[in-house]
Copies of this chain bind each other. A is one copy, B any other.
Amino acid sequence: MNDLHQMAHDARVAAWTLAASDITVRNAALLAMADELEARKAEIFAANKADLAKAEQDNLAAPLLGRLKFAEEKLAAVTAGLRALADLPDPIGQTTLSRELTEGLKLYRITCPIGVIGVIFESRPDALVQIASLALKSGNAVLLKGGREAMQTNRALCEALRAAADSSGLPADFAQLLESREDVAAMLKEDTLIDLIIPRGSNEFVRYIMDNSRIPVLGHADGVCHVYVDKAADLNMAVNIAVDSKTQNVAVCNAMETLLVHRGIAADYLPMLLPALQAKNVKLLGDDTVQSIIPCLPATEEDWHAEYLDFTLSIKVVNSLDDAIDHVNRYGSHHTDSIVTADESAAQAFMTRVDSAGVYHNVSTRFADGFVYGFGAEVGIATGKIHARGPMGLEGLTTYKYKLLGSGQLMAEMKNGTRRYTHVLLNEDCPL
The chain A residues found within 8 Å of chain B, CB to CB, are 16, 19-20, 99, 101, 105, 107, 114-115, 195-196, 207, 210-211, 214, 216-218, 234, 237, 240-241, 244, 248-249, 329, 344, 347-349, 351-353, 355-364, 366-368, 372-374, 384-387, 389-391, 399-412, 414-415, 421, 423, 432
15 residue pairs A–B, Cβ–Cβ below 8 Å: A20-B349, A107-B374, A114-B386, A196-B385, A216-B217, A237-B408, A248-B411, A248-B415, A360-B404, A361-B404, A363-B405, A363-B407, A367-B404, A386-B387, A387-B387
Q: Which of A368, A372, A374, A404: most chain B CB closer than 10 A?
A: A404
Q: Which residues of B contact A412 (CB under 8 A)?
A: 244, 248
* B411 adjacent to A399 (CB under 8 Å): no
Cross-chain contact A101 with B367 (CB below 8 angstroms): yes
Q: Closest residue of chain B to A236, judged by CB? A: B408
Q: Check A359 against B234 for contact (C-beta < 8 Å).
A: no
Report the 8 A-B pairs with minimum CB-CB distance, sorted nearest first.
Answer: A363-B406, A366-B411, A244-B410, A387-B387, A237-B408, A374-B423, A385-B399, A216-B386
Interface pair B386/A195, CB less than 8 Å apart: yes
Q: Which residue of B lies closest to A93 (CB)?
A: B352
**Minimum C-beta distance from A199 to chain B (A):** 13
Question: A20, B352: Cβ atoms under 8 Å?
Answer: yes
Are B19 and A352 interface neighbours, CB within 8 A? yes
Residues on the B chain within 8 Å of A405, using CB = 347, 360-363
Chain B residues positioned under 8 Å from A240 (CB to CB):
408, 410
Could you tell me if A114 and B385 are in contact, using CB atoms closer than 8 angstroms?
A: yes
- In whole Å, how far is A83's beta carbon from the nearest beta carbon of chain B? 17
Q: State A421–B372 Cα separation when bound (angstroms).
A: 8
Among residues of B, the one whose C-beta sits closest to the C-beta of A350 is B432
CA gap between A344 and B409 in the complex, in Å:
17
Q: Is the CB of A364 within 8 A of B410?
A: yes
Whether A404 and B347, one on each chain, are in contact in the complex, defined by CB atoms closer than 8 angstroms, is no
Q: How far is the CA of A410 from the CA of B16 in the complex (A)?
A: 44
Query: In the complex this chain forms, how many copies of it are found?
Result: 2
Distance of A223 from chain B, by nearest CB (Å): 14
A363 partner residues in chain B, CB cutoff 8 A: 105, 404-409
**Given A358-B402, A399-B389, A19–B410 Cβ distance below 8 Å?**
no
Q: Which chain B residue shows the least CB distance to A211? A: B214
Q: Determine if B400 and A389 form an interchain contact, defined as CB atoms under 8 angstroms apart.
A: yes
Q: Indicate if the CB atoms of A409 and B364 lie closer than 8 Å.
A: yes
Shortest A343–chain B CB gap in Å is 11
| A364: contacting residue among B20, B352, B357, B411, CB under 8 A | B411
Question: Closest chain B residue to A114 by CB distance?
Answer: B385
- Closest residue of B by beta carbon distance from A366: B411
Chain B residue nearest in CB terms to A344: B432
Complex Cα distance, B406 from A241, in Å, reads: 11
Q: How far is the CA of A347 from the CA of B403 in the complex (A)?
A: 10
Q: State the CA gap A400–B347 with chains docked (Å).
A: 18
Contact: B351 with A432, CB < 8 Å?
yes
Structural contact, B16 and A101, CB atoms closer than 8 A: no
| Contact assessment for B432 and A347 in the assembled complex, using a CB-CB cutoff below 8 Å | yes
Known contacts A115-B355, A373-B101, A406-B362: A385-B195 contact under CB 8 Å = yes
Question: Residues of B contacting A359 with CB < 8 Å?
Answer: 401-404
Give the CA-CA distance A390 to B357 in the complex, in Å. 25
Chain B residues whose C-beta falls within 8 Å of the C-beta of A403 in the assembled complex: 351, 359-361
Instruction: Tell me which residues across on chain B come within 8 A of A210, comparing CB atoms.
Output: 214
Contacts of A347 in B (CB 8 A): 405, 432
